[in-house]
């Protein structure tokens, strides 16, 4: 990895950036460093927002709400389309930023930006729909329908692992529905968020509609969640933070996406070459830092040993390095805490009696790198098989048939993504029906959602659905409308002939 670093030219940012409140870029009284995870060097400085900054952002969003919500949705859609066009124009530059600030390898970094482009284009089109329903009434001369209404001021709190895509999921749907926004990004990737907000402003989002406040979870995040004039919260992150939001948000519309412990079932009849390709991509793509990452392989008894040998051979060829280099297969973890968490769980796995096959250590040198790690002979009760690690650590378990495999898959508290590799259509449909998850892939990895389909999970993952038409549900209210043109008082459930 030393040679990789020798070819890597670090760009040093000296600029101190600002927050965006009521159409103006504003400074803070204190700041924090935004760090490159591959080099541990500072990229930029951002304001540590205060409670007063949150209040001003909410005031601005509240003031802007009437004008924005009354703008015809197709006009709002045109602004989202311009945003997509501007992102596409700058895709290469923004992809390099993702690779630098978050650590993704370049193909994934460019994919992160492309997902933002796709979701803005999708929700731009929803401005021509925002569908409600019409239906019959039980009474004569009476019309019944539903219409969409915005929630109001929305607090959007986003993670670092998809620094363009996840903010774009939330911002695009919230905006097309007519909401105004207070947006807090992760303090690990504020520069990507800054660029997205700047582009939205240039695309024509009016002053006060989007307000961008950087800073800590304890000040800015909690301030948004507890604010009495914030009507809705959308959060993607850890289960512990989701639990806190549930207890403290009050009577808000709350959407939570809280992680996963995602299984790939590999049946004895599976195409093992295809399965290995999907498992490696799912487990070590984004350095395992996806809520949909493959963290468990549940292998049929007959093929487990062969599958493990194939996985081990492929994993040992993966090259660590900065995400901006073409030679890199696996980039760094996001920060020191993430690195230490992977180390902690590897130690737990060893103590529990799992068999460490490869990895299990950090390489020498700068950066938050950790070698891709595989454990074999893992049992379902082990912590490494139950708890989300969010790093490049894969556990292999053995199953005896489809029913046992599904039972193992369901033996964790999370229920986000899942996968089965099989040539038997009966196995595929039993997995689709039996696995407790919001997503099930057949003969594909646990990662790879598309923007026009709903995304979310069940159980401790939360019950939010974002993207697709479900994104409209997440960021709007349905109002039921009755129009009685009978000319007399009619009483539902009473005036029934």
Res 42 pLDDT > 60: yes
Contacts of 305 (CB under 8 A, 6+ apart): none
pLDDT at 207: 98
Which pair of tokens denotes residue 135?
């239906």
pLDDT at 7: 37
In degrees to the nearest 10, what's the CA dihedral of 251, 252, 253, 257?
-110
Q: What is the mean predicted confidence (pLDDT) over 48-74?
A: 98
Q: How confident is the model at residue 10 (pLDDT cuts 50, 70, 90)?
A: very low
List 257, 388, 398, 474, catalytic entry: 257
Burial of 246 (0-12, 13-18, 19+ CB in 10 A): middle
List 177, 192, 291, 358, catalytic entry: 291
Give residue-wise pLDDT tens across range 77-94.
999 999 999 999 999 999
> Between 246 and 13, where is the model more confident?
246
Res 62 pLDDT > 70: yes
Res 11 pLDDT > 90: no
pLDDT at 495: 79
Given a contact cutoff of 8 angstroms between Cβ atoms, the answer to whether 427 and 402 are in contact is yes
pLDDT at 427: 98
pLDDT at 1: 33
Give residue-wise pLDDT tens across range 131-141.
999 999 999 99
Give residue-wise pLDDT tens across range 418-439.
999 999 999 999 999 999 999 9
Res 3 pLDDT > 70: no
Give residue-wise pLDDT tens across range 143-202.
999 999 999 999 999 999 999 999 999 999 999 999 999 999 999 999 999 999 999 999
Give residue-wise pLDDT tens across range 248-302.
999 999 999 999 999 999 999 999 999 999 999 999 999 999 999 999 999 999 9
Res 496 pLDDT > 80: no
For the chain, percent of residues with pLDDT exceeding 70 = 97
Given a contact cutoff of 8 angstroms between Cβ atoms, the answer to whether 167 and 198 are in contact is no
pLDDT at 13: 45
Give residue-wise pLDDT tens across range 102-121.
999 999 999 999 999 999 99
pLDDT at 9: 41
Closest CA to 463 of 256, 246, 209: 256
Res 130 pLDDT > 70: yes
Query: What's the pTM?
Result: 0.94
Instruction: List where CATH 3.40.605.10 sits in the chain.
Output: 8-258+462-479
Whole-number Å distance between alpha carbons of 117 and 112: 9
Whole-number Å distance between alpha carbons of 466 and 173: 8
β-strand partners of 35: 42
Res 411 pLDDT > 50: yes
Give residue-wise pLDDT tens across range 310-357.
999 999 999 999 999 999 999 999 999 999 999 999 999 999 999 999
Instruction: List where CATH 3.40.309.10 sits in the chain.
Output: 262-442
Highest mean pLDDT of the ranges 3-7, 26-30, 230-234: 230-234
Q: How confident is the model at residue 497 (pLDDT cuts 50, 70, 90)?
A: low
> Would residue 291 show up in a list of annotated catalytic residues for this protein?
yes
Q: Is it true that domain 8-258+462-479 has CATH number 3.40.605.10?
A: yes
CATH of domain 262-442: 3.40.309.10
Res 453 pLDDT > 50: yes
Contacts of 447 (CB under 8 A, 6+ apart): 281, 282, 285, 286, 290, 292, 293, 294, 417
């Amino acid at each position: 990895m030393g040679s990789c670093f020798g070819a890597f030219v670090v760009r040093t940012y000296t600029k101190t950036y600002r927050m965006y409140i009521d159409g103006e870029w504003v400074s803070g009284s204190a700041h924090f460093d935004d760090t490159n995870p591959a080099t541990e060097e500072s990229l930029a400085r951002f304001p540590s927002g205060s409670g007063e900054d949150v209040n001003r952002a909410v005031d601005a969003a509240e003031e802007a709400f009437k004008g924005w919500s009354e703008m015809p949705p197709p006009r709002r859609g045109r602004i989202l389309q311009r945003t997509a066009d501007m992102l596409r124009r700058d895709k290469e530059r923004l992809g390099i930023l993702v690779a630098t600030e978050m650590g993704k390898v370049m193909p994934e970094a460019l994919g992160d930006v492309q997902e933002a482009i796709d979701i803005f284009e999708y929700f731009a089109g929803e401005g021509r729909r925002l569908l409600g329903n019409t239906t019959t009434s039980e009474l004569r001369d009476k019309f019944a329908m539903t219409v969409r209404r915005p929630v109001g001021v929305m607090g959007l709190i986003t993670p670092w692992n998809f620094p363009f895509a996840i903010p774009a999921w939330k911002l695009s749907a919230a905006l097309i529905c007519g909401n105004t926004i207070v947006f807090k990004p992760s303090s690990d990737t504020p520069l990507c968020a800054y660029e997205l907000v700047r582009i939205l402003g240039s695309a024509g989002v009016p002053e006060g509609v989007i307000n961008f406040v950087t800073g800590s979870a304890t000040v800015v995040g909690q301030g948004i969640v507890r604010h009495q004039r914030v009507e809705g919260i959308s959060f993607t992150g850890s289960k512990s933070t989701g639990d806190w939001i549930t207890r403290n948000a009050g009577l808000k519309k709350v959407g939570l996406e809280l992680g996963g412990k995602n299984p790939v079932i590999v049946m004895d009849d599976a195409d093992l070459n295809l399965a290995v390709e999907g498992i490696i991509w799912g487990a070590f793509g984004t350095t395992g830092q996806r809520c949909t990452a493959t963290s468990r392989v549940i292998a049929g008894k007959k093929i487990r040993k062969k599958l493990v040998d194939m996985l081990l051979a492929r994993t040992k060829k993966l090259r660590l390095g900065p995400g901006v280099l073409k030679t890199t297969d696996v980039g760094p973890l996001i920060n020191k805490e993430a690195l230490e968490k992977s180390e902690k769980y590897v130690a737990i796995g060893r103590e529990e009696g799992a068999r460490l096959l490869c990895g299990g250590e950090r390489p020498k040198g700068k950066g938050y790198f950790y070698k891709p790690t595989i454990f074999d002979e893992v049992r379902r009760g082990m912590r490494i098989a139950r708890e989300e690690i969010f790093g490049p650590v894969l556990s292999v378990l053995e199953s005896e048939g489809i029913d046992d495999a599904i039972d193992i898959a369901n033996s964790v508290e999370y229920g986000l993504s899942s996968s089965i590799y099989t040539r038997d259509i009966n196995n595929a449909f039993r997995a689709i029906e039996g696995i407790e998850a919001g997503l099930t892939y057949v003969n594909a990895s646990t990662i790879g959602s598309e923007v026009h389909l709903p995304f979310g999970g069940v159980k401790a993952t939360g019950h939010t659905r974002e993207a697709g038409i479900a994104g409209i549900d997440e960021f709007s209210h349905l109002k039921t409308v009755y129009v009685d043109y009978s000319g007399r008082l009619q009483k539902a459930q009473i005036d029934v002939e």
